[in-house]
Amino acid sequence: MNAAELAGFLRTRRARVRPVDVGLDHTGRRQTRGLRREEVAGRAGVSVDYYIRLEQGRRLRPSRQVLVALARALQLSDDECNYMLGLVGEAALPAPSSRRTEAGALRLLDRLDDLPALVLNARYDILAWNAMAVALMGDLAAVPERERNTLRWLFSGQARGIGPHDRAQLGRRCVADLRSTGRYPDDPEVRHLVHELALESREFAALWERHEIGVNRAMTKRMLHPVVGPLELDCELLTIPDSDQRLMLYTAAPGTATYRALRGLRESAGERLTC
């Protein structure tokens, strides 16, 4: 823990907040620039003595809950709050969950005309896709928005073309990845999805109770495509900055049967788009 850095950070941020910004009476003369220490402590729900010792650089190691409360009291941005959490060895706040895909990710999807690509959020909702993803997986636009979720597909038997063993392995990895986001139970949408899947699938419920943690960054997916046959795809998951979303790319090593099959899918996708 860097107590001296935390102390200096708190002092400068306290001086930055005007009383009027937090609904305090700003009439009369104030000798303190910004908020008083007792005002910060009161807004954060900690004792004045405890807060004073933090600003003095005492090695107290405040809890995550206290730091988040101080961040609210001092009107810190998420980046500033994460910086403060990092000073005491705490993990950063999860990026805000959103169904709106960043414009940069959409532009990237458009340029990836030779590879299937998807944008997923932390819940495994499919938010956006390119033409090659349609050639690989079918018309995603025809699927109701609520059902465009890969976890629902895996645990409801809708994951077409994936064998039982591969589906089970993929399901286990995805459940561990969902756990690792740290969004359960604080994120209501993640909590709702977990509750729903646990009721509908004994397999999901059993996997969730294992409390396994594992971040998906790369995996191999085997599937049987109705047109080009067996595929063995390398899946890469790339984080989209400042969001809970990731870009999933499907690739294959040059010279392999899957590589040739993807080229065939690209040609067929191009023909449909020009018709």
Instruction: Note whether 54 and 181 are same-domain residues.
Output: no
Asked if residue 225 and residue 157 are part of one domain, the reply reads yes
Mean predicted confidence (pLDDT) in 20-42: 79
DSSP string over 81-92: HHHHHHHTTPPP
Q: Are 119 and 247 in contact (CB under 8 A)?
A: yes
pLDDT above 70 for 222 = yes
Arithmetic mean of pLDDT over the chain: 89
Q: Is residue 97 part of a domain?
A: no
One-letter amino acid of 6: L
Q: Do 141 and 248 belong to one domain?
A: yes
Tokens 């928005």 -> residue? 145
Q: Is residue 95 part of a domain?
A: no
For 63-122, what is each residue's pLDDT tens digit?
A: 999 999 999 999 998 889 989 999 998 888 877 666 777 778 888 888 888 999 999 999
Do 18 and 148 reside in the same domain of the chain? no
Domains held by the chain: number: 2
92, part of any domain: no
In a domain, 96, yes or no: no
Taking the model in full, what pTM does it have?
Answer: 0.72
Mark whether 64 and 152 lie in a shared domain: no
Please say whether the beta carbons of 10 and 54 come within 8 A: yes
Kind and range of the H or E run holding 248: strand 246-251
* Residue among 39, 57, 193, 46 nearest 125 (CA): 193
- What are the tokens at 117? 């690509």
The structure tokens 């139970």 sit at: 185
Mean of the pLDDT values across residues 27-47? Answer: 84
CA 17 to chain centre: 30
First to last CA, the chain: 62
Q: Coil, helix or strand for 176? A: helix
Q: Count CB-CB contacts under 10 A for residue 149.
A: 21
Domain containing residue 211: CATH number: 3.30.450.180
Final residue of a domain: which of 23, 53, 87?
87
Residues 9 and 111 in one domain: no
Convert the pLDDT of each residue in 198-217 to its tens digit: 999 999 999 999 999 998 88
CATH number of the domain that residue 67 is part of: 1.10.260.40
What pLDDT sits at residue 34? 87
- Which domain does 248 fall in, by range? 103-274
In a domain, residue 262? The reply is yes
In a domain, 94, yes or no: no
Domain-ending residue, one of 58, 87, 116? 87
- The pLDDT tens digits for 151-206 are 999 998 777 789 889 999 999 999 999 998 878 887 889 999 999 999 999 999 99
The mean per-residue pLDDT over the stretch 240-264 comes to 92
Query: According to the model, what pLDDT value does residue 275 have?
Result: 47
In a shared domain, residues 138 and 260: yes
